Amino acid sequence: MAEGIDPLELMPVSRMARPLRALLRGWAGVVLGFLYLPIAFMVLFSFGESRTPGLPFRGPTLHWYQEMLSNGVLMEAVWTSIQLAAVATTLSTLIGTMAAFPLVRSGFRSAGAARIVFTLPIMLPGALIGIALLIFFRRALGVDLSFWTVVMGHIVFTMPFVVLIVSARLQGFDRNLEWAAADLGASPARAMRHVVLPLIAPAIVAGALISVTLSIDEFVITFFTVGPQSTLPTYIYTQIKFGVTPEVNAVATVLLLGTVLLLGLAWAAAGQARRLSRIFGRRRARERIG
């Protein structure tokens, strides 16, 4: 393994640049292989004949895909999970990003303490948070459990990741850019939209991605805060007595494919939009000048 890469060698000394680049590219390949190896097996098992996902492999068969499609409870659970991840991620990304600004910038004394408080939900076990929320929702607030209570449960542990990663990006952010924008007559809102947000966008996206990752497979907090629904994780993690079947491998494979397709489309669309906006932007600029 290439853990031996010396950070010192990462420097762009022109003589070394090419071999270094080759080395890093190789390393990236190794990393992606490491991440996709188990995925390959997971997909493979979805085509296996046996009821237990594992080796030795016998097949291939599409049997489990048929089973999956005719399993209404499972399909509904998948749909609930997707909605849950989407809503919880949107909210936690929004709320978390907003919170990062005062945390980093206000210089108010408690900012450091606040950041530690934000790491608390990450360090406490989900089981504890789940039980606490259940008791709180029912006894203190008296609300029925529903889709929204589980959304709130998910925000509690996904938002801290957004806050932390966006504040890291905001730290050392060159405020001069903003002030320059203001000087040039940009309203704070415009400065935010055209200067600040583009600069922190990668952190927001990264926060959202982490949020989806955590939300889509959370079991314990979900179990205690969910109303009369099943989610994909509650379906999967409760098959204790007889075990999961490759049906859920089939679901995972389809979801993976769907995600990849969707992201590919979004990526293509974004590229298209950028190209268009570049063209139109130029025209508009020209008009303004003219």
Partner 1 sequence: MVDPIPASHQPRARSNLTRGWPFLPAGVVLLVLFLLPMTVMVAFSLWRTNSDLDVVPDWTLDNYIYFFSEGTYVRTFLKTLIMAAAVTAAGIATALPFAYFLVRYVGQRWQRIVLLAVIVPFWTSYLLRAYAWQAILGEKGALNQFLMGIGLIDEPSRLFVYNDLSVWLVLLYVYFPFAALALYTALEKFDFNQLNAAQDLGARPDQAFRRILLPQIRPGVITACIFVFVPILGEFLTPTLVGGAQGALIANLIINFFRGLQYTTMAAFSFVIAGFVIVVLVIFRRYLRVEDVVARG
Partner 2 sequence: MNDWYRDVSRRRFLQVSAVAGAAVALGGVAAACTTGASKKTGTFNWMTWSDHYYDTQLDEIKKAADIGTNISELADNAEGFAKLKEVTGQLDMLSGDALWVPKNFDEGLVEAFDINSLAVSKQLYSIAREFEIWTKPAGYLGYPFGWSPIQIAYNPKFVSPAPDSWEVLLDPKYKGRIVVENQPVEVVAYMAKLAGIKDPYNMTDAELAQAKEALLRLKPNILKFAQQNTDTVAALVSEEAWLATSNLGAEDRVKDAGGSDVVTFIPKEGTIGWMDAEMIVKGGKNHDLIMPFLELAEQKEYIAENFIRYGRPLFNEGAYKILVDKGEQERADRYLYNKPETVLTMTLKGPGVSTDAAIRVFNEVFGA
Residues 66-125 that bind partner 1 (CB under 8 A): 94-96, 98-99, 101-103, 105-106, 108, 112, 114-125
The reply on whether position 27 binds partner 1 by CB under 8 A is: yes
The reply on whether position 135 binds partner 2 by CB under 8 A is: yes
Select the binding partner of residue 182 from partner 1, partner 2, none (C-beta < 5 to 8 A, by kind): partner 1
Span of 160-168, 189-197, 234-242, 277-285 interacting with partner 2 by CB under 8 A: 234-242
Which residue from 126, 145, 230, 234 is in contact with partner 1, where contact means CB under 8 A? 126
Of 225, 243, 210, nearest to 54 by C-alpha is 243
* Residues in region 149-178 near partner 2 by CB under 8 A: none
The reply on whether position 147 binds partner 1 by CB under 8 A is: no
The reply on whether position 144 binds partner 1 by CB under 8 A is: no
Q: Binding string to partner 2 for residues 1 to 40, with x set by CB under 8 A, is what?
A: ----------------------------------------
Count of residues interacting with partner 2 (CB under 8 A): 40
The reply on whether position 46 binds partner 2 by CB under 8 A is: no
The reply on whether position 234 binds partner 2 by CB under 8 A is: yes
Residue with tokens 């390959």: 40
Span of 58-66, 67-75, 229-237, 282-290 interacting with partner 1 by CB under 8 A: 229-237
> H/E/C letters for each residue in the chain?
CHHHCCHHHHCCCHHHHHHHHHHHHHHHHHHHHHHHHHHHHHHHHHCCCCCCCCCCCCCCCCHHHHHHHHCHHHHHHHHHHHHHHHHHHHHHHHHHHHHHHHHHHCCCCCHHHHHHHHHHHHHCCHHHHHHHHHHHHHHHHCCCCCHHHHHHHHHHHHHHHHHHHHHHHHCCCCHHHHHHHHHCCCCHHHHHHHHHHHHHHHHHHHHHHHHHHHHHCCCHHHHHHCCCCCCHHHHHHCCCCCCCCHHHHHHHHHHHHHHHHHHHHHHHHHHHHHHHHHHHHHHHHHHHHC
Which residue from 33, 49, 51, 55 is in contact with partner 1, where contact means CB under 8 A? 55
Span of 59-67, 68-76, 160-168, 282-290 interacting with partner 1 by CB under 8 A: 160-168
Q: Which is nearer to partner 1, 128 or 285 (CB)?
A: 128
